[in-house]
Amino acid sequence: MAAERKIRVLIIDDSAIVRKVLAEALASEPDIDVVGTAPDPFVARDKILSLRPDVLTLDIEMPRMDGLTFLKKLMRIHPLPVIVISSLAQSSSQAAIEALQSGAVDVLAKPGGPYSVGELKQDLPHKVRAAAAARVANPRAQPAAPQHAAPLVLSGASSSTVIAIGASTGGTEAIREVLTGLPANMPGIVIVQHIPPVFSEAFANRLNDLCRLRVKEAADGDRVTAGLALIAPGNFHMKLRRMGAEYRVAIQNGPRVCYQRPSVDVLFESVAEAAKGDAIGAILTGMGSDGAEGLLKMKRAGARTVAQDEASCVVFGMPREAIRLGAADRVVPLGRLAGELAALSTAVAR
């Protein structure tokens, strides 16, 4: 039997040290082959044509042409799965979020500060495999927040309904599409997106600028209230707790679950316990199985559950596992998920 073809990776970064660290992080992976490196987009352009990589890692800040400009050109002319490797500086993290909007499939922090080389070696191979499986297309122009969504019956912080959403690869744009389609008086929403620290705050701030809902990175003890969406901070688990008549979130450290922190399973399992039949769960695009077992627990507790369909997923991993387990009541295209969540919120409130 012929050996399976390895995933071919091209590393693009102006730092020779970072190129070496990234290559070493992938060197021992039997299914991944670093076919080349490039110090800037001009060298990368020629190597893409000659080496035919399956996945690119791309620095944001480079001489001659920055990574974001190169990414936008690449996605127009020769779309490929791209993992953005960015520093944790505020300007770089904002550019990384823009890169995800522009077609990159994932983002990873450069090692340094709170993010170690050891963590990079754990995370990068997983992200490369997810990127290699991703469905890449020319990114659509970002729509303005729609102005025609019908208001819901539900309103006010006294609602006992809570919506939990989980996503991974391709999820930043999927979550953006869902949240911008929702009216301002939705029940409280809690979200886990697999994303590194600092980037999660930039992601939440970007959504807050686009949505009718208020969106923020969650802090320990935050109340879950109508009209508010809370994004789990990178590198921390988020759990839902019921305290009397209200919900609050707990932000915690702890071991990775399904190789992830934050983990969708950790959130969904806590929602199943705290909210039971007053909850709605949605699992979106992503590699692996994180969230599938948690969504099943939500369903068994009485929650309404939804999975994104294969055709609209960047990676149909997490939703597929949830569907396989029988955890999803309905399978819905991304473009209909906002309407589905709004309809379910009204139904649960009755």
Identified catalytic residue from 93, 194, 265, 312: 194
Identified catalytic residue from 168, 270, 312, 345: 168
Sign for the pseudo-dihedral over CA of 104, 166, 285, 22: positive
* 309 among known catalytic residues: no
The secondary structure of the chain, three-state, reads CCCCCCEEEEEECCCHHHHHHHHHHHHCCCCEEEEEEECCHHHHHHHHHHHCCCEEEEECCCCCCCHHHHHHHHHHHCCCCEEEEECCCHHHHHHHHHHHHCCCCEEEECCECCECHHHHHHHHHHHHHHHHCCCCCCCCCCCCCCCCCCCCCCCCCCCCCEEEEEECCCHHHHHHHHHHCCCCCCCEEEEEECCCCCHHHHHHHHHHHHCCCEEEECCCCCEECCCEEEECCCCCEEEEEEECCEEEEEEECCCCECCECCCHHHHHHHHHHHHHHHEEEEECCECCCCCHHHHHHHHHCCCEEEEECHHHCCCECHHHHHHHCCCCCEEECHHHHHHHHHHHHHHHHC
CA dihedral 255, 258, 260, 262 (to 10 degrees): -80
* 148 among known catalytic residues: no
Distance between CA atoms of 225 and 228, rounded to whole angstroms?
6
* 168 among known catalytic residues: yes
Identified catalytic residue from 106, 222, 290, 309: 290
How far apart, in Å, are the Cα atoms of 257 and each of 194, 288, 291?
A: 12, 11, 10
Residue with tokens 């001489």: 63
Residue with tokens 């042409």: 65
Residue 118 backbone phi and psi in degrees, to 5: -60, -40
Distance between CA atoms of 317 and 319, rounded to whole angstroms?
6
Residues tagged active-site = 168, 194, 290
